[in-house]
Amino acid sequence: MNRQEKGLDLAVESVRQQITLASAIIAATLAFSDQLQDTMQGRVWTMLPYAFAPLALSIICGVLALMSISFHLCKNRDPMPQSEVRLFGVCQNLSFMLSVIGLVLIVAIA
Cβ-in-10-Å burial (0-12, 13-18, 19+) of 12 comes to middle
What confidence score (pLDDT) does residue 106 get?
81
Farthest CA pair distance, the chain: 55
14-59 pLDDT per residue, tens = 999 999 999 999 898 888 777 665 555 567 777 888 888 999 999 9
pTM of the model: 0.86
Cα-based angle 67, 71, 75 (whole degrees, multiple of 5):
170
Average pLDDT over residues 71-83: 85
